[in-house]
Amino acid sequence: MEYVTAATALTDCMRRAVAQGLSHGSSGNASIRCPQGMWITPSGLEPETMQATDTVTVDLHGKVLAGALRPSSEWPLHAAIYRARPDVDAILHCHSRHATALACCGRDIPAFHYMVAAAGGDSIRCAPYALFGSEKLAVHALQALSGRRACLLANHGQLTLGSNLGQAFALAVEVEELAAQYLAALTAGEPRLLDATQMRAVIARFADYGAARRNDADD
């Protein structure tokens, strides 16, 4: 992927995040892996005013390689994930309402609904609180993301990963919807959870779910 394409995708992603209620104001950030490290959104700009040319190129140790603006304050979090997770090529962090509400309670999202498996496991974990932009936050997030593509960040928001930005965005939408459903279910009592065997079956089903082409043998 070239810089112009990636920068446009990042700007569009942040604008969509605001439009769909995943973020507000200048909160949230997104990045895409690149050969030099990552392309990441700048610090403190609202998506409505953000231009593709505001995207910052940063190596995975924080050195700014290109861009006139400061990178997002969460660059250490993004960089740590890219260093530890070669399967990840895009990251989205946002402060969506219901996911953040659960994060402020320090609650995981358990297997109350089979779609929790969309994040890669039988729960969406909540990482312990740490100061935004800190290495400690990156450490906590990586632990919560072990075997997962999403987590909550205590007293902060949510974080999603993907092989591309579209996947990370779609998962953020799903995490927010699951958080809203879980909070609603809690008002009616304690939700019945799917057990480990049931969730393993869902994860296995997800492995070949979607609009993939059939093999010739299927014809």
> Angle CA(48)–CA(150)–CA(136) in degrees, nearest 5?
90
Short-list 72, 92, 66, 76, CA closest to 164: 92
CA distance 117 to 109: 11
74 is catalytic: yes
d(CA 31, CA 42): 10
161 vs 89: CA distance, rounded Å: 8
Sign of the dihedral through C-alpha 168, 145, 18, 28? negative
- Per-residue b/e over 199-211, b at no fewer than 16 CB within 10 Å? beebbeeeeeeee
**Tokens 């604008």, located at residue:** 15
9-34: b (≥16 Cβ within 10 Å) or e: bbbbbbeebbeeebbeebbbbbbbbb
CA angle 133, 115, 84 (to 5 degrees): 35
Query: Which entry of 2, 46, 74, 190 is annotated as an active-site residue?
Result: 74
Residues involved in catalysis: 74
